[in-house]
Amino acid sequence: MAKEKYNPKEQIKKALEEPGENVFESTSTLVGDARRADALDSLLETIQQEIKELEDPVSVAKLRMTAALIHQSGYDYDSAWKEAETVSREKGLPTLLQVYALDMLASVCMSRFDFAAAEAYAKQALGLTSDSTGGAPIEILNLMGDVYRHQHKFYLALEYFLELREACEKKNYEEGYAVAISNLALTYNLLGRFAEGEKHLIESLALAKKADNKVFIAISHSNIASHFIMMERYDEALEHVEKSLDIAREMKDERGVSNRLLVLARIYRETGRKYEALGHARTAYEIAEEKNFQGILPAGCRVYGAALADAGDPEAMLYLDKSIKMYLSQSRDEAPHGLEMAYLEYGKLLVDKDEQTAAEHIWKAINILKKRPRYPFLKRKLAEAENIAAGLPKISELESTSIEISQENLAKILDVSNAIISETELSGTLEKILDIALEISGAERGVIWIRGEAKLGLANAKNFSGPIKKEPDYPAINQVAWSVVGTGRELTASGSAEVRKKTGEIPYVEPMDVKSFFAFPLAADGKTVGVLYLDSRFAAVDFSESIRGLLLSIMKQAAMVIEKIRHIEEMGRESSQLKRKVKQQDNELKSVFGIVEKQQKELEGRYGIQNIIGHSPRMRAVFELIDKAAQVDLPVTIYGESGTGKELVARALHYGGPRKEGLFVPINCASIPENLLEAELFGYEKGAFTGAVETREGLFEVSSGGTLMLDEIGDMSAQMQAKLLRVIEENRVRRLGGRHEIKVNVRIVTASNKKLEYLVEAGEFREDLFYRLNVIHIKLPLLRERREDIPLMVDHFWKKAAGAAAEVPPDKKQAFMRVLMKYKWPGNVRELENEIERIIALGGTMDAGFLSENIITGLSSTFSVDGVEETGLNLREVEIRLIERALRAADGNKAQAARLMGIAKTSLYDKLRKYGIDWTGRRTQ
């Protein structure tokens, strides 16, 4: 479809005429046609206009989901979430539209690496499907498989992908069938069934070629290449990744190009072509960083760092360390794929520098590699890691393999325990327990009953398409629950055959249309007080012993919740239990007060004026002003460029004054959008706007009795300035959506890197607000205006970062300090601190050779002809004077002198021989 012939309004009209059961297909087709016509922006703009004009809620919902799909394809996940959430909250929409909205929310959660939330939304979507809706949409089945694959629940993933393949076969949906085959291939490989995986990968490529789908062809080639790398068949891997890369470049798919270049770099590393590997890895990383491809950046840092290490570049450590941090911060998974290789490569670099830390990283890699599929590549890496570990210190807590319950699952038990302590209403607590049980088990639907005198009372149900008592399977589910009550034992069945067998043993139970179910008694003090029931209609879920044990632990917690709530209801607030609880809280408060008092003293010591480094006349004047300002309760404005220490001064004012017992609360006004800044400062009431699910105090209330620091106040809008002025004048705030004003008592300290008086003159800042805030004015000097403080700061930052003073000869240290004092430091104190931390991190010493390139470049301008003040000199004499001056500044270090002059080292050597100058800067001829 040519761009000039594409009419978005006509295409939208055509899509809206499609029947409701085709909502997934119609929106995908609409977006696909626009993409081929290079008209996505035009389509989105038209959709937004149509939404304003249309009155039919179903049509509006369809267009919102189309907009969500466009945003998702453009990696704008926040906008995609906003549109899908709006549809999911709309009442009375067709079921499949609600399913589509939940599917989109789950997909966005996957993109944000929140797999638990993705699973919850996907199950909620599955729960809405039934035979009347045409069964589960293939998009949901595929998403469920993908969720479980990322959670390392590979057998569950396999069940859903097999179900997906079967559904696509029934509907004769070739593209979906190809996706199912591709995902089955990846899952078989993760299960260690490599022959089946490879067979499906080849079949997937054939299907993609048959459909002439370039995107899918490229993905298939890339998947095959990754498989062959793991099988250590590098020539075959190279052939496939090059084909995939060609397609990605042809389609201008920068994400695909970045991904394929990383695969190519991995192949070149393993085949000894280290410099080609480095070039591809660098390009891949640069693309991912420029485009902010969060899903690729951790691997990009890892492969680039490893390639730098192969080339002997010390910056490898920075990239590998960054890779580990990104893997851990981006994924809620304990061991995201690729983390093990980052640990291994980083550990190898540390072996000669820090054996203890190296051992920790190597053992982390070993423990993850032991859980991975037994690919030849990973088996070799495991052997390599174990061989390295044999020569390193023992790390007992990392070598242990006896722990079966992960930290994540222990956290879930803690969640339930916290619910027991904090909840006094049964419904909220049981809903949380049910959510956690569904997440841990992998089951799709769940029910909790509470046992009464002679009945089971339905307490909570999750992921059913409607009222549970109207479900066709409900009579059988209810009988299963009563069977558990009668026996006091769990009842489980995995697989359709076992479900038929187990239900057949229970009188009056009709067959259930599920593939697995689990029913657990909730027992307290030997008495069954309730039942938890879980089932799955699409996957034959089977528990490991560790998961079963974890669920039983949660059931014990659930039973305790039930008994606790009942006891509270029977005994009332004046019971002896309440008195004991009050006494316990009193003891806890005393303990907390002791901790707070200790922390307060630590804060006063950490942020006191004595921790601001400097003895120059300018800083002594600042210290004198801080001492005086701290003792009075007046507003203070701090002016200084970025990096001069404005927040440190603000903290010194707080902890050195009468408000030190209160909170010090800083907020950067420039980093928060205006609508959010108002909510942050003034707070809001529950229901004040969409998303305000509970009342929240603003920062004026939180900091009442203490100090509120408004950083970068010069960037505050005129409207916010007016609201701030009102609060300062009246010492009262009104929360968003609130009816009443709340009295506050706050000392305000403002900071800016812009001169507020200039903003007032320009009409960008209110004059009345300026005079309210600028009662005391503190101007912080630039670092280049107090160069004599640099040696003190360097010593302080060195001890802070390294844990001890630098061990360096006095003459070397003095030379290092002289170089630092000549640099202009545009980033001020922050730049100096960062530079010292960088030198220490790279294992450097107080030597100008370890300084950053930008500092050396900045210093080179110092050694110019401007420094030669004598007149009447010819060009030869000027050049000699410059060389002598650079050599003296570099203490005879020729390489450093060349850098200071901004010329090549070989050029300097030629000039030294030409003019007869020795290394000290003296002429010999």
How many whole angstroms separate alpha carbon 663 and alpha carbon 105? 38
Which residue did the predictor score with more confidence, 704 or 564? Answer: 704
* 135 C-beta neighbours (distance < 10 Å), count: 17
How many whole angstroms separate alpha carbon 625 and alpha carbon 617? 13
What residues contact 626, with CB distance under 8 A and at least 6 apart?
609, 612, 649, 652, 653, 656, 778
What's residue 708's pLDDT?
94
Tens of pLDDT, residue by residue over 840-869, are: 887 778 887 788 877 877 766 555 544 444
One-letter amino acid for residue 537 of the chain:
R
Radius of gyration for the alpha carbons in the chain, expressed in angstroms and rounded: 34
* CB under 8 A, 24+ apart: contacts of 891-896: 891/811, 891/812, 891/815, 892/919, 892/920, 892/921, 893/848, 893/849, 894/919, 895/849, 896/848, 896/849
Residue 610 · residue 792 · CB < 8 Å: no
How many whole angstroms separate alpha carbon 601 and alpha carbon 584? 26
Q: Which H helix or E strand runs over 750?
A: strand 747-752
One-letter amino acid for residue 862 of the chain:
T
Q: How does residue 318 score in pLDDT terms, banded at 50, 70 and 90?
A: very high
What residues contact 285, with CB distance under 8 A and at least 6 apart?
258, 297, 300, 301, 303, 304, 319
Q: How does residue 2 score in pLDDT terms, banded at 50, 70 and 90?
A: very low
Architecture label for domain 1-130: Alpha Horseshoe (1.25)
- Quick one: CA dihedral 852, 855, 860, 863, positive or negative? negative
Residue 393 · residue 355 · CB < 8 Å: yes
Is pLDDT above 90 for 128? no
Among 3.40.50.300, 3.30.70.270, 3.90.1170.50, 3.40.640.10, name the CATH number for the domain at 607-781: 3.40.50.300
Strands 664-668 and 456-462: unpaired
Fold match between 1-130 and 213-328? Answer: yes
* 325 C-beta neighbours (distance < 10 Å), count: 13
Residue labelled with tokens 């599917």? 103
What's residue 501's pLDDT?
84
Is pLDDT above 70 for 246? yes
Q: DSSP letter for 491, please.
A: E
Least reliable range by pLDDT among 20-29, 385-394, 865-874: 865-874
Q: How does residue 403 score in pLDDT terms, banded at 50, 70 and 90?
A: very low
How many whole angstroms separate alpha carbon 370 and alpha carbon 805? 42
Does residue 924 sit in helix, strand or coil? Answer: coil
Nearest Cα residue to 83 out of 48, 38, 32: 48
Backbone phi, psi, residue 521, to 5°: -75, 140
Query: Mean per-residue pLDDT for 621-642?
Result: 92
Backbone phi, psi, residue 520, to 5°: -120, 140
Q: What percent of the chain has pLDDT over 70?
A: 85
List b or e across 469-485, with b for residues whose CB sees 16 or more CB atoms inside 10 angstroms.
eebebbebbbbbbbbbb
Residues paired with 456 in a beta bridge: 451
Angle between helices 297-310 and 316-330 (to 10 degrees): 160
Least reliable range by pLDDT among 50-64, 350-364, 416-430, 596-610: 596-610
Which residue did the predictor score with more confidence, 691 or 712? Answer: 712
What's residue 582's pLDDT?
59
What's residue 3's pLDDT?
46
Is pLDDT above 70 for 594? no
Residue 840 · residue 802 · CB < 8 Å: yes
Residue 729 · residue 772 · CB < 8 Å: yes
Residue 303 · residue 343 · CB < 8 Å: no
Q: What are the sequence ranges of the domains in the chain? A: 1-130, 213-328, 336-399, 407-571, 607-781, 789-915
What's residue 380's pLDDT?
92
Tens of pLDDT, residue by residue over 645-702, are: 899 999 989 988 888 888 899 999 988 888 789 989 999 998 888 878 888 999 999 9
* DSSP letters spanning 845-907: -S-GGGS-HHHHHHHHTTSSGGG---SS--HHHHHHHHHHHHHHHTTT-HHHHHHHHTS-HHH
Q: How does residue 402 score in pLDDT terms, banded at 50, 70 and 90?
A: very low
Residue 313 · residue 328 · CB < 8 Å: no
Tens of pLDDT, residue by residue over 811-849, are: 888 888 888 888 899 999 999 999 999 888 877 788 877
Q: DSSP letter for 513, please.
A: S
How many whole angstroms separate alpha carbon 838 and alpha carbon 357? 18
One-letter amino acid for residue 94 of the chain:
P
What's residue 266's pLDDT?
94
Both tokens of 777, joined, read: 């004015």
Alpha-helical runs (H) found in 251-315: 254-270, 274-291, 297-310
Architecture label for domain 407-571: 2-Layer Sandwich (3.30)
| 591: Cα within 13 Å, side-chain hemisphere | 6
What residues contact 711, with CB distance under 8 A and at least 6 apart?
646, 647, 666, 667, 668, 669, 670, 750, 751, 752
Nearest Cα residue to 553 out of 364, 355, 420, 701: 420
Q: How does residue 871 score in pLDDT terms, banded at 50, 70 and 90?
A: very low
Query: Mean per-residue pLDDT for 738-757?
Result: 92
Per-residue three-class SS string for 663-698: CEEEEECCCCCHHHHHHHHHEECCCCCCCCCCCEEC
Alpha-helical runs (H) found in 316-354: 316-330, 339-350
Residue 750 · residue 636 · CB < 8 Å: yes
Q: Tell how far CA 150 is from the center of its chain.
A: 16
Q: What is the pTM of this model?
A: 0.51
Query: Mean per-residue pLDDT for 452-472?
Result: 74
How many whole angstroms separate alpha carbon 529 and alpha carbon 886? 86
How many whole angstroms separate alpha carbon 350 and alpha carbon 393? 13
Both tokens of 113, joined, read: 């690496």
Q: Which CATH superfamily is domain 213-328 in?
A: Tetratricopeptide repeat domain (1.25.40.10)
List b or e across 645-665, with b for residues whose CB sees 16 or more CB atoms inside 10 angstroms.
bbbbbbbbbbbbbebbebebb
Is pLDDT above 90 for 711? yes
Is pLDDT above 70 for 518? yes
What average pLDDT does the structure give for the chain? 82
Backbone phi, psi, residue 517, to 5°: -150, 160
* DSSP letters spanning 361-402: HHHHHHHHHTTS---HHHHHHHHHHHHHHTTS---HHHH---
Tens of pLDDT, residue by residue over 885-914, are: 778 777 778 887 777 776 777 878 888 888
How many whole angstroms separate alpha carbon 222 and alpha carbon 264? 10
